[in-house]
Amino acid sequence: MNSTQGYLLDIQEKFEHLKVEQTRIFEMFEELASFQIRLAEFSGLSNHEDLYMKLLDVLSSTVEFSFAQILRRSEGTDGFELVHEKGVPGAMRELLTLDENLLQWAVANEQVSIYPVEDEGVLTCAQSMIVIPLVGRREVVGATVLWTPFPSEELNQHVFQMLSIFSKEVSGSMENLDLYLRTQSLTYLLDNTIESVPHAIIVFGLNDRIIACNKNAEFLFGFKRFFALEERYQDVLPKDVSHTFSALILSTLEGRCEIDQEMDYAIDARTRLTLGISSSLLSDKHGTPQGVLFICRDMSLSREVEKLRDLDSMKTEFIHTVSHELKTPLTAIMSGTDILLNDKENLSPDHKEIVGIIDDASHRLQALLTDILDMSRLEDGSIEVEREWRSVEDLVTSEANMLVNASPTHTLKLEVDEDLPKVFVDAPKIRQLLENIIGNAVKYSPKGGTITVAVQPDDDHLAVSVTDQGVGIPEADIDLIWDKFYRTELATNQQIEGTGLGLSIVKHIVDLHDGEVRIASQENAGSTFTIRLPVKRSSQEET
């Protein structure tokens, strides 16, 4: 063979080699193009499970693997959790461990990494492990781990490149799906919020068509959402409402927001209300107007509530003012009667009787003012509670002896258990409570009799009960006696004096101490009031 023939043969061999390389490159491009087409299918998926299955399906056409696991970044941490796997037998799951440092390195460097498998239990099925990081534009999504049956050195550069493309494309798809699902969840939450608002909400586009509304709008304006959406509001809403909305839209688009514009509106022939309407402009993120939002509410209820609040405030202010203004002249009257009573030897019998009536009436008025002021402070929450651990039997015994012994027609019977637990109470207020309860027992048994005061443990409470043999309480009145100024007809007919505030004060004081009050009564057969206060044993007092 001469040199020319050898040269031509060499050129022919190189040409054949180039043809083989060209064919291989074409095949690689075709494979890559097919791979890109399959990656594009991820954009149409709407849930994670379908995405995970598609992910492993695409990988199986690219690289052979024995097992696969998909890991997601745990929310709020740097760790990962298993969310999907393929081909992993139950007995093998514990053997498929991944060094956390290797995983973190691959993710931090956003680089597909391959490591040899050294665990003998796994070597029979897999010789190498491929870590494919999944890192989106905004955050780390997770990683896919493949256990392959070939050594790490057999992974060619083309497959490695395809896996790198896969890593970036799928990471973006997973991140977009997460964002879509979060947005969908927020949309559901926003829809539920709008439906839960106790007002009618309706939104118009700039083309006057209804683009959103809630069920209250359907009820208030008498239309069905299914038929109203994308229709002109002028064709859906009642004419008077439509005219009001038109004026508001014009004002809103001119840059003004009409708050609580009111109109009379009839829901039906029997129901009329005052409708308060608020409007505001809806704009996109660039500030471009997109529509107008209306919130419509029944102003009647709001006005009634406002009136009640104003009346309550006026009542409280009136009580404070009158009570304080009356205390000054009352003090002067009581001081004057005291001076006259100290010199009663120089008074005639008629004058003594008049002064005595004045003195008795002034003390009754003083008690009434005190009750009114106490009731007012208890209601507005301005009264302070200063608690301490106290022995209730001491408070009960002293108060009962003082009140009952002052009446010659009554007898006191004390039933106090030994070794009673202490209670954490405001002692002056408990004295006031006992004074009202025991005082009522004496007052509402005008014919006398026995007043029984008992103190005993009752589960985790201490029960103080006061029983009289008096007029009792009619069954119809039992639920009403806690109301301010309420007095039973039986008490009024028997001319038993009282303000009707004592039991209301008792109830408030018991509530301040997290206790409860019970009553058992029968008309003309007496009553039993029982106060239950939370207790704490003495051995626990300092804890």
Q: What is the Cα–Cα distance from 237 to 108, expressed in whole angstroms? A: 59
Cite the DSSP H helix spans in 406-516: 427-443, 489-493, 502-512
**Section 122-142 average pLDDT:** 80
User: Residue 251 is which amino acid?
Assistant: S
DSSP 206: T
By DSSP bridging, strand 140-148 and strand 128-135 are antiparallel
Q: Which range has the worst mean pLDDT, 316-325, 383-392, 420-429?
A: 316-325
Q: What is the Cα–Cα distance from 441 to 404, expressed in whole angstroms? A: 9
Which of the pair, 318 or 353, is modelled with greater confidence? 353
The answer as to CATH 3.30.450.20 being correct for domain 194-300 is yes
Report pLDDT digits (tens) over 278-294. Answer: 888 888 888 888 888 89
Q: How far is CA 82 from CA 74, 79, 232, in A?
A: 9, 10, 51
* SS3 track for 5-35: HHHHHHHHHHHHHHHHHHHHHHHHHHHHHHH
Spans of all domains in the chain: 23-184, 194-300, 304-380, 388-540
Q: Is the pLDDT of residue 542 over 50?
A: no
Which residue, 66, 23, 64, 57, is CA-closest to 154? 64
Structure tokens belonging to residue 479: 């639920």
**Angle at CA of residue 487, ends 481 and 491, nearest 5°:** 115
**Angle at CA of residue 244, ends 241 and 245, nearest 5°:** 85
Q: What is the mean pLDDT of the chain?
A: 78
> What is the enclosing helix (H) or strand (E) of 467?
strand 461-467
Q: Locate tokens 């024995």: which residue?
A: 66
Architecture of domain 23-184: 2-Layer Sandwich (3.30)
Q: Is the pLDDT of residue 540 over 50?
A: no
Is residue 359 exposed (0-12), middle (13-18) or buried (19+ Cβ within 10 Å)? middle
Contact call for residues 70 and 86 (beta carbons, < 8 A) = no
Q: What is the Cα–Cα distance from 174 to 58, expressed in whole angstroms? A: 15
Q: What is the Cα–Cα distance from 465 to 452, expressed in whole angstroms? A: 8
Which of the pair, 139 or 310, is modelled with greater confidence? 139
Task: Sheet with 210-213: list strands edge to edge.
Answer: 210-213, 200-205, 289-298, 272-283, 261-266
Q: What is the Cα–Cα distance from 422 to 537, expressed in whole angstroms? A: 6
Q: Cβ neighbours of residue 132 under 8 Å, at least 6 residues apart? A: 59, 106, 112, 143, 144, 145, 146, 163, 166, 167
Q: What is the Cα–Cα distance from 497 to 330, expressed in whole angstroms? A: 20
Contact call for residues 491 and 497 (beta carbons, < 8 A) = no
CA 136 to chain centre: 35
Q: Is the pLDDT of residue 4 over 80?
A: no
Which residue, 168, 133, 127, 178, is CA-closest to 149? 127
| Most confident stretch, 210-219, 305-314, 328-337 | 210-219
Q: Locate tokens 């000054």: which residue?
A: 328
Domain 304-380 falls in which CATH fold?
Helix Hairpins (1.10.287)
Q: What is the Cα–Cα distance from 217 to 233, expressed in whole angstroms? A: 12
Position 113 scores a pLDDT of 85
Position 543 scores a pLDDT of 41
Question: CATH topology of 23-184 equal to that of 194-300?
Answer: yes
Report pLDDT digits (tens) over 250-283. Answer: 887 776 555 567 888 888 777 778 888 888 888 8
Q: What is the Cα–Cα distance from 404 to 410, expressed in whole angstroms? A: 6
Report pLDDT digits (tens) over 41-93. Answer: 666 677 888 888 888 887 887 788 888 888 888 876 777 888 888 877 665 66
**Angle at CA of residue 506, ends 501 and 508, nearest 5°:** 95
Position 498 scores a pLDDT of 67
Q: Helix or strand or coil: residue 153? A: helix
Report pLDDT digits (tens) over 507-532. Answer: 888 888 888 888 888 888 888 999 98
Sign of the alpha-carbon torsion through 499, 500, 503, 504: negative
What percentage of the chain carries pLDDT values higher than 90? 3
Look up the CATH superfamily of 388-540. Histidine kinase-like ATPase, C-terminal domain (3.30.565.10)
Q: Helix or strand or coil: residue 268? A: coil
Structure tokens belonging to residue 38: 């399959």
Q: What is the Cα–Cα distance from 355 to 339, expressed in whole angstroms? A: 10
For helices 349-380 and 299-342, the axis angle rounded to 10 degrees is: 150
Residue-by-residue DSSP string for 169-180: HHHHHHHHHHHH
**Section 461-481 average pLDDT:** 86
Q: Cβ neighbours of residue 172 under 8 Å, at least 6 residues apart? A: 136, 137
Position 94 scores a pLDDT of 61
Q: Cβ neighbours of residue 310 under 8 Å, at least 6 residues apart? A: none
Q: How many CB atoms lie within 10 A of CB 177?
A: 19
Which of the pair, 104 or 2, is modelled with greater confidence? 104
Contact call for residues 32 and 58 (beta carbons, < 8 A) = no
Radius of gyration of the chain (CA): 44
